[in-house]
Amino acid sequence: MAKIQLPTVTLCAAASVNMPATVAALHASMAHLEFAECLLFTDGERATCESIRQVRIPRLRSSLDYSEFMIRSLPEHIRTEHCLVVQWDGFVINADRWDPSFLNFDYIGAPWPQFDDGHNVGNGGFSLRSRRLLNACRDDHFRPGGAEDLAICRVNRPMLESEFAIRFADLPTAERFSFERTMPAAPTFGFHGVFNMIEAIGEDAFWNHYLGLDDRTSAHLDFWQILRQLGRGPHASRRRRKFVVDRLAGLFRS
């Protein structure tokens, strides 16, 4: 199958932990899509792949460091009109669900069901962002608001819309683009959330990712949900046992 050409979109990820899984997410996203380029922002070891260009950055020691990089530094590196942001637990799963009309928007992320005020499109872990949006977020009037996706899509959305005419995707478009906290009615272009990985890519593929993680914190945040999902298949008992042991070890270390 010929790759879908996306010459105005840069694929990118930023990480200092879980590098093998992050690189795997980039490869999965590139499997049937041809991007203008693929950028990996990290302080870690070089990705041994010619299709991924590594950009050296200071170590991201926290979620706040990540948010600061995404808002303040990412725009310096994006030369195309849009970028597709992925993380180790959020990437393309159905390339054929790509819709060129996605490029009519400045920001698309999975819907947030916990908000009902109309500002409920915005998950950043798998998101499409325009260069217009990236530059607008560097404006002096932009107010930090914790996680970068919340800062962009809720704290500063009114300002971005009124002063920069930024277009956030409508809910039906966001539902076709990605899913996170709600299960989609139809296949989506991508997803985000470690708790969705088994549903998205299967138990074996998830487990291979999990074993390669050097930071399993995010995997254990939704411990019970993932533990239930691991109760399938011929290796269920062994996998669930290790998952419990890893969680207990993490609790003792903290």
Two tokens at 244?
A: 């419990």
pLDDT confidence tier of residue 254, bands split at 50, 70 and 90: low
- For 92-145, write each residue's pLDDT tens digit: 999 999 999 999 999 999 999 999 999 999 999 999 999 999 999 999 999 987
Does 68 map to a domain? yes
Q: Is the pLDDT of residue 87 over 90?
A: yes
Q: Distance (Å, rounded) from C-alpha 71 to C-alpha 74?
A: 6
Q: What is the CATH number of the domain that holds 79?
A: 3.90.550.10
pLDDT for 49 equals: 80
Burial bucket for residue 34 (CB in 10 Å: 0-12, 13-18, 19+): middle
* Half-sphere exposure of residue 94: CA atoms within 13 angstroms, side-chain side: 16
Q: Which residues pair with 164 in a beta bridge?
A: none
Does 202 map to a domain? no
* Boundaries of domain holding 11: 4-196
Q: Is the pLDDT of residue 250 over 90?
A: no
pLDDT for 48 equals: 64
Q: Distance (Å, rounded) from C-alpha 85 to C-alpha 208?
A: 22
Does 237 map to a domain? no
- Residue range 31-58: average pLDDT? 90
Q: What rounded mean pLDDT belongs to the chain?
A: 94
- Residue range 60-69: average pLDDT? 96
pLDDT for 189 equals: 98
Q: Is the pLDDT of residue 65 over 70?
A: yes
Does 90 map to a domain? yes
Quote the pTM value.
0.95
- Residue range 61-72: average pLDDT? 96
Does 65 map to a domain? yes
- For 201-245, write each residue's pLDDT tens digit: 999 999 999 999 999 998 999 999 999 999 888 899 999 999 999
Q: Is the pLDDT of residue 249 over 70?
A: yes
- Residue range 56-81: average pLDDT? 96
Reference 163, options 138, 145, 146; nearest CA is 138
Number of domains in the chain: 1
Reference 50, options 77, 79, 30; nearest CA is 30
